[in-house]
Chains A and B, each alone.
Chain A
Amino acid sequence: METTLAGHAMETLPHVTWLGVLIKAVIILAVISAIAGFGTFIERKVLAFMQRRLGPMHVGPFGLLQLAADGIKLFTKEDIVPQNANRFIFMIAPIITAATAFIALSAVPVFPDFTIPEFIPLLGGTFVPSIAADLNIGILFVLGMMAAGLYGPLLAGMSQANKWGIIGAARTAVQFLSYEVVTGLSILAPIMLVGSLSFVDFNDYQQGGIGSWLIWQQPVAFVLFLIAGFAETNRTPFDLLEHEAEVVSGYATEYSGMRWGMFFIGEYANMITVSIIAAVVFLGGYSVEGIGWLFIILKVAFFFFLMLWVRASWPHIRPDQLMWLCWKVLMPIALINILITAIVILL
């Protein structure tokens, strides 16, 4: 795999320095946090429009400053730790969610590579790569990190000495046991086709225009991955961890202030990650030259919108239904899909 990369990329691209990676990490943190915050605003607006409401309107033009107002509110709220909770675990659980979400983002391509212009002092001439850590097992790493992110809700629910929290934690376990198989198996078929686990290889594989997108070869895997991705990010048909109507707020019941906010930053960062993976693996990703980067932003935006759209439209399912769906329906389909792909490759 290293050779495929080295074959064409290493000669044309400048050397990646630790400074470039550091700058990239800061950019990802800053921009994705901002987008995650903005995502909450977009979500409220889109949901409102779909219900023919106006959404936030009064703080700033079109309610744009509502974001700032919410941020101020979250930061100034009291940070309550319940009396019988396990203090340490209770306090680090939200950090696990947010941190793993951003660690996962370090291995996916976000924004184009660029070189900082020479005239800027200190940093001039530094090459900033599009992927902070271009691992040759990028997909495995990202999926693993997002799976590890579920320790956040799990530990949060168990540590807070609250029955709703315990139920939320139990549901986390149910959810985790259900979709993780489908995620892995669904993405296995494209991996077999491309023969690599690196996002760059996936991207290069589909550079021949829309016709070469993997979605045409692997429509079943695409749908399966999308379903599993919704479960992975706790989005609506599978938002059983914190469904208000049933378990108050699930694992987040006892959280307040910025710790509560961190769960949401993590969730939105995960939504962006899943959108990027879906766009790169199935929808042709980005192309390096010209405005090719605009297209991946459009694709990611489409997936993001799809998540909000689905939330506005569909009811959510019960935990047992999620297990039933994942183990009895989606996993067999994924296996059959892999089998057929393998046979086609062998022929």
Chain B
Amino acid sequence: MGLEQFKNRNVGTQNYTKLDVGVKPATSMDQFKQVVKRTFKGELFVGLWVTLREMVNALFLDKMHTVKYPFEKMPISPRYRAIHDMLRLLESGHYRCIGCGLCEKICISNCISMDTRYDENQRKEVTEYTINFGRCIFCGYCAEVCPELAIVHGQRYETASEQRASFSLFEDMLTPIDKLNLQQEYDGFGAVSPNADANIKKTPLAY
């Protein structure tokens, strides 16, 4: 299954099929006619044919619906808000987070806590960064507010844990340095929209 259906969020543009519910019989004669028509129309056999066709589809034409979940997984939408990832800069491999603290500030369930300091080059360095997934409601505000696309929502949705509070450390969410070439640019929640360039306008203050 492709992702097109997931990505189409424009309610109303889909092709809805209206059912023809027909007219209700008003007189007894109409009722009688309806009974006769339904008796000899063979609708019951249409029903039988439909289920048989689906069985043939499933067994021989490889159209089984079942996803054997723990062994097989459906692709999920890139906009799905699962466990966070911290991304790295592709060129240098340094983490993207600049320690601005916006995500900590905006988080509505107060589950991000971070600490920063100046390193020897007077750059902000993240010393502590944890997210308490026991509190996180996966609202996506942190990803949306991040100016660097440093914190994003990844694809890990199996989040059952043994404890209520389950803290995720910065290092755990950070792309491993040896997997840097596999790091995908995030195109989901809070990402720059595909037509961002076209949307750029000069602000009235640009004089």
Contact = CB atoms under 8 A, between A and B. Distances in A.
Interface of A: 46, 49-54, 57, 309-310, 312-314
A149 to B, nearest CB: 27
Contact of A50 (B44, B55, B66): B55
30 contacts: A49-B54, A49-B55, A49-B58, A50-B51, A50-B55, A51-B54, A51-B65, A52-B54, A52-B55, A52-B57, A52-B58, A52-B63, A52-B64, A52-B65, A52-B66, A53-B58, A53-B65, A53-B66, A54-B66, A57-B68, A309-B48, A309-B51, A309-B52, A312-B51, A313-B44, A313-B48, A313-B50, A313-B51, A314-B44, A314-B47
B59 interface: yes
B64 A53 contact: yes
Interface residues of B, number: 16
A231 to B, nearest CB: 16
A51 B65 CA distance: 8
Interface of B: 44, 47-48, 50-52, 54-55, 57-59, 63-66, 68
Given A312-B51, A313-B51, 17 more contacts: A46-B55, A49-B55, A49-B58, A50-B55, A51-B54, A52-B55, A52-B58, A52-B65, A52-B66, A53-B64, A54-B64, A54-B66, A54-B68, A57-B68, A309-B48, A313-B47, A313-B50
Contacts of A312: 51
Nearest to A311: B51
Contacts of B66: 52-54
A50 B63 CA distance: 11
A285 to B, nearest CB: 25
Nearest to B59: A49
Nearest to A53: B66
A51 B48 CA distance: 12
A101 B6 CA distance: 53
Nearest to A58: B68
Contacts of A54: 64, 66, 68
Contacts of B55: 46, 49-50, 52
Contacts of A51: 54, 65
A53 B58 CA distance: 8
A50 to B, nearest CB: 4
Contacts of A52: 54-55, 57-58, 63-66
Contacts of A57: 68
A112 B11 CA distance: 65
Which of A51, A54, A57, A313 has the most chain B CB atoms closer than 10 A to its own CB?
A: A313
A52 B63 CA distance: 7
Nearest to B56: A49
Contacts of A310: 48
B50 to A, nearest CB: 7
A54 B48 CA distance: 20
A314 B50 CA distance: 11
A54 B64 CA distance: 7
A309 B45 CA distance: 11
